[in-house]
Amino acid sequence: MNYFRLILDRVKTELMALQTAGTIPAGLDFANVGIDPPKDPRHGDVSTNAAMVLAGPAKMKPRDIAVPLAERLKAHDDTELVEVAGPGFINLRMKPDFWPKRVVEAMEAGADFGRSDLGRAKGRVNVEFVSANPTGPMHVGHARGAVFGDALASLLEFTGHDVTREYYVNDAGAQVDVLGRSAHLRYREALGDAIGEIPTGLYPGEYLKDVGEGLVELFKGQYRNAPESAWLEPVRDFAIAEMMGEIRDDLDLMGVRHDVFTSERGLVKEGKVDAALKRLRDKGLIYEGVLEPPKGKEPDDWEPRQQTLFKATEFGDDIDRPVQKSDGSWTYFATDIAYHDDKIRRGFKVLINVWGADHGGYVKRMEAVVAALSDRQVALDTKLCQLVKLMDRGQPVKMSKRAGTFVTLRDVVERVGKDVVRFIMLTRRNDAPLDFDYAVVTEESRENPVFYVQYAHARCSSVLRNAARDLPALDISPLSLRKADLSRLTHSDELALMKCIASWPRAVEQAAEAHEPHRIAFWLRDLASHFHTLWSRGKEEEGLRFLIEGDPELSRARLALVRSCALGLSVGLRVLGVTPVEELR
């Protein structure tokens, strides 16, 4: 249970009671009434701004609302202290037995601790992520978007959203034709032709050699000297399929899965581009026109051109955007319109796009498209992931496609493991650049958040193992621990740990609402820190150790706390797709 929500509901109920009693005017909007943890824990466990927010609309002094509201809040028997502070905040401190109850709830919920139905009313959510072009293997940069999207999707599922994970395959356009030509060259090479240097404009990567050999197996020599018009399509399609196979293998390696792969070529073939543009046309949002050149940075070859434009400016974009090339084919933007139209028509109410930061310039126009096509009924949130800088002991790892010193996603995962990659990718906000240092992420110290959190989990597991070994008479089954007398846990550090565990349901909900999975990683680090603190207390004071030989009931209570902590760590890690470990070796 999210206890903040409990208190918030209570505050609103009491406000209504005050309205009934005539203490405050009727008809006030409680939407801005909020509940927060005070910055300073001495101010209590929760704080509400109710009196501050309502003072204006009610035309009253904050304290004149706060004082009677506080009186009413005092009447609840789980609350120890209610204070009006400063200009009119109300601080509440819960009774000590409030926290053990939250811990028991956690144990009862088990792996579902913190799960909620927050998203049930929001409609189906589509998370589109990775969508790397099928022209080569994935590199480290792709890993961030992959992990972010996958973790965000899990987070939304955990909070009750109906989520589809989707990959948009850019298998139309010039880039895949280049892939086809590059593959044909490797095919001739595999047949024994001398191909010399790879011409500029084609993909030089060695990874296409396998594709060349595959083509030989499939087509033998039939396209060796044939004109491009004969082989481009079959060769290209084969190469795309091969590349997508590799990409899916790489994603699999990181535990990332997609439910749906949508093909750009398929959209075009099925006439969905025409259909989507017709819809826009019917709304009067497509016209023939000439764009002004960009001010200050006019391209050398600029010439005014009549083109087919979408009225993006009507929906907040800076300029209208072209949808058709001069040769009559669609721009990438046109197929993207079709793709988003398709998503809308499949019934999604929330669209989330995970893109690299270099696509930031497309955000506004896509928002415009989604607003136009859905009559502003569908929300689009585009999350931009900043670059990942690969480092080793503080030095940047040099990468160049040409020189072949190109670090693939597979290289990194094989070197440090999927759990490390996943966690580290989430230790920064998506819109902040991230340094990924091989040395640091494999280091076994506090500086490395993966190990810090895993270490806490391993220590929890270790205590539980020791308990089974050293106190065989003690029943530490989940059922028994649930019934432990947690009122024996009175030390401030024990309380702090309980409170942190109890904060999990709110933490997940907030992370989900903000579409920010990194918050889970920070919460995990916080929980781990509370646990390590408590652990060390036991080093200083024997009475604070988890296992107390002469006091089985106290031991049981402490083990229940340890179990709950392990539970919080493992549930949080699993939301991020990281496997909790019971031992570090």
Partner RNA sequence: GCGCCCAUAGCUCAGCGGAUUAGAGCGUUGGCCUCCGAAGCCAAAGGUCGCAGGUUCGAAUCCUGCUGGGCGCGCCA
Structure tokens at 296: 């200050």
Q: CB of 358: closest distance to RNA in angstroms?
A: 4
d(CA 334, CA 35): 45
Q: CB of 238: closest distance to RNA in angstroms?
A: 18
Q: CB of 404: closest distance to RNA in angstroms?
A: 23
Q: CB of 169: closest distance to RNA in angstroms?
A: 9
* Burial label, 169 (beta-carbon count in 10 A; 0-12, 13-18, 19+): buried
Nearer to RNA (CB atom), residue 59 or residue 585: 585
Nearer to RNA (CB atom), residue 20 or residue 32: 32
Nearer to RNA (CB atom), residue 164 or residue 461: 461
Write the DSSP assignment of 233-279 as a string of letters: HHHHHHHHHHHHHHHHHHHHHTT---SEEEEHHHHHHTTHHHHHHHH
Q: CB of 558: closest distance to RNA in angstroms?
A: 8
Q: CB of 194: closest distance to RNA in angstroms?
A: 30
Nearer to RNA (CB atom), residue 219 or residue 522: 522
Q: CB of 26: closest distance to RNA in angstroms?
A: 21
Beta-strand pair 350-356/125-128 = parallel
Residues paired with residue 168 on neighbouring β-strands, in sequence order? 262
Nearer to RNA (CB atom), residue 213 or residue 538: 538
CB–CB of 461/570 below 8 Å? no
d(CA 114, CA 158): 8
CB–CB of 233/215 below 8 Å? no
Q: CB of 373: closest distance to RNA in angstroms?
A: 19
Neighbours of 61 (CB within 10 A): 13
Nearer to RNA (CB atom), residue 195 or residue 471: 471
Structure tokens at 457: 């989990």
Q: Please compute, for residue 217, the number of CA atoms within 13 A of its CA located in the half-sphere on the CB side.
A: 7
Dmax (CA) of the chain: 93
Q: At what angle do helices 272-282 and 332-345 cross, to 10 degrees?
A: 80
